[in-house]
Amino acid sequence: MSTPAAVNLPIELILLAAEYAAQLQTSEKAIRRWRHWVASLCTVCRALEPAMARILYTLVHVHPGNIDVVVRAAEMDTHPFRRARAVYLDTRGGFLADEQASALSAAFQHVHAYTGSLHDLRSLLNDQIHSHDIRPLSVHFLLSWKVFDLGIVTISAERLHVVFEQSFISNDDLSRFRTRFLILDVHTATSDEAIDTVRQALRVQTLERILVRPFVSRAKSQVQDLRDRFRSFAHAERSAIIWFDDSFPSDGRSVDLNVAELLDYRGLSDAMTGDDLWLQGSQLYIPGNDA
């Protein structure tokens, strides 16, 4: 749709078209093209700006290529990130300077979903940890490095996603957990430890769903083995809250990516999917269908 053509359409139709386009974008390059198109609509008519801004700032992807621009925007008097609801922070091994972290933390006051490594998210989550804000919090830890270092987040996040490496649940914490939806990305090599952790997590009273996903692997036999192991465990425990999702990657574009690129692709895809991510997959044990 060209910008001149969009001028003659009702705002409601333009919003529907933009939202539909957003759902189709997965690569960073495609997302940039789409965002430029949506942003251009803000200059067409002032009446379009609120609707377009809501889409543009649904997810803010911060990376080395735009971090300075994002920080400058965060410091603007117009507060453009007041509409932001999700942040994907990817410093790719770098660090946020204290002043950058402070500016972003202040700008993202209404954000409820954070995606990134613990290394990247620590500075943004510190304020969230010590605040009395009880908004539902969704946290994606894309790397397993010392998840337990941010124990308060793992306990209080309503939606929690971690790459499993070692147990992050202690018996002392079970009564304090507020997590309703848990995602574990599991290596086949750590499946025994992961099953033990899931067995422990079943004692968390607030949990409604545990979604197990294979860590990035193209070996179908390993994925099937992981599914079978967790299915047997779910049946043994007669637990209806354990689900499994091996739908990623689901397109041919990922074939030529190495593991690091595939992880970046998955991280962005997870962040864009939002809270619906926890509702994917299939149930491993259905009460009443015992074989």
Parse the chain into domains and list their residue ranges.
Answer: 1-56, 57-283
The SS3 call for residue 156 is helix
CB atoms within 10 A of CB 122: 18
Query: Is residue 288 exposed (0-12), middle (13-18) or buried (19+ Cβ within 10 Å)?
Result: exposed
Task: Answer whether 150's CB lies under 8 Å from 123's CB.
Answer: no
Give pLDDT tens digits along the chain (291 positions): 554 555 566 766 766 666 666 555 545 555 556 566 666 766 766 766 776 777 777 888 888 888 899 999 899 888 888 888 889 988 877 778 888 888 888 888 888 888 887 777 877 776 665 554 545 678 887 765 555 455 666 667 788 888 887 766 666 667 777 888 999 999 888 889 899 989 988 988 889 999 999 987 667 888 999 999 999 999 999 999 999 998 876 655 555 677 777 878 888 888 888 888 888 999 999 988 765
Q: What is the distance between the alpha carbons of residues 199 and 239, in angstroms, rounded to a whole number?
A: 10
- 248/87 Cα distance (integer angstroms): 21
| Model pTM score | 0.78
* CA gap 141, 24 in Å, rounded: 24
Q: What's the CA gap between 98 and 123, in Å, rounded? A: 8
- Pair 202, 179: CB distance under 8 Å: no
Q: Whole-angstrom Cα distance, residue 18 to residue 23?
A: 9
- 222-250 exposure pattern, b = at least 16 Cβ within 10 A, e = fewer: bbeebbebbbebbbebebebbbbbbebbe
